[in-house]
Amino acid sequence: GVGADGRVTVELWHGQTDTGRAAIEKLVAEFNRTHPGIRVDAGGGVLADAMLQKITAALAAGSFPDIAYVFGSDLASVARSPSVVDLTETVGSGPTPWNDFWAPARAAVTLNGHVRAAPALLDSLAVVCNKKLFRDAGLPLPRPGWTWEQFTDTAARLTDRRRGVFGTGWPGVGDEDTVWRLWPMVWDLGGDVIAPDGRHIGFEDVGEKALGTVAALAGDRSVYIDPKPGSEQMYQVFASGRMGMVVTGPWQLPDIRQAGIDHHVVPLPSYSGRPVTISGPDTWTVFDNGPARTSAARTFVSWLTQP
């Protein structure tokens, strides 16, 4: 709220942990230092994976933060709430020209011509390779433009059961982390969530081909299948130097670097040669807690998105 001295406090649910949390807290401290009329409180909220459930409950209760980190795939579930602030004017006059954001990022946060959230980041899955294990197997590092067939062949060649080395890993719980890695494969093959008739799924045939690629990894036992939610065990195997390749995103690089893995990053393989991502950008979504807090929240989000 607004203090007796006129200073406005903004509640931020940033959703970050570990290195991500340290980074956002450092940015918040810098903003608070340079904006004496605003205080951003970054102490609340939940991890980003649980943000949709938390925000949905908060909106229903009528007690919500000023800003929340909402996944791009979850934005549609909250964007139509009357409590979500229209950021069209904010992004249009901010320090980063709106057209500097990639077109898919702009489209993903726009509903009926109105910008419903500010892009926080646009990440994409890639393949991180352990250079030492590639050298040990006598394999060249993959290059952009490679195929899923080459990926499965490389995983098989990297696998060394005697040494406990896996070619790659895949979450096996059947949760979001398992499934969302399939979506770039589905998009690449021309599939969609819903068929053009609006009544059937849009990935029946192409989904079978994508699953066939993963099944091939399991069939030759070149994949470590993580049996627990969160993929932590899969990442631990890679960090221990016993996995040749892992499909992941930029959020995992700090841990990989900390583990001392000499690594190489290459875009996802494809079936068609076209690079694809999963969904829209993660977002900073602003909620209306009155004019003063909304204005302060706009100021912080605008500052946060500058180069």
CATH number of the domain at 140, please. Answer: 3.40.190.10
Could you tell me the residue range of the domain that residue 84 belongs to? 8-122+280-304
CA quadruple 188, 192, 197, 199: dihedral, nearest 10: 150
Residues 110 and 33 in one domain: yes
The stretch 138-166 carries a mean pLDDT of 97
CA angle 48, 191, 81 (to 5 degrees): 40
Q: What is the pLDDT of residue 188?
A: 93
Contact predicate 91/118, CB 8 Å: yes
Scan for tokens 């340079």, then name that residue: 34
Residues 106 and 36 in one domain: yes
Around 7, how many Cα atoms within 13 Å sit in the side-chain half-sphere?
Answer: 11
Q: Residue 1 pLDDT more than 90?
A: no
The stretch 130-146 carries a mean pLDDT of 97
Q: What is the pLDDT of residue 35?
A: 97
pLDDT tens digits along 21-67 = 999 999 999 999 999 999 999 987 889 989 999 999 999 999 999 99
Residues 42 and 60 in one domain: yes
Pairing of strands 118-121, 282-286: antiparallel
Percentage, residues of the chain above pLDDT 70: 100
Residue 1 belongs to a domain: no
d(C-alpha 134, C-alpha 129), whole Å: 8
Scan for tokens 């829209």, then name that residue: 280
Number of domains in the chain: 2
Q: What is the pLDDT of residue 43?
A: 85
d(C-alpha 245, C-alpha 238), whole Å: 8
How many C-beta neighbours within 10 Å does residue 84 have? 23
Contact predicate 244/151, CB 8 Å: no
Residue 3 belongs to a domain: no
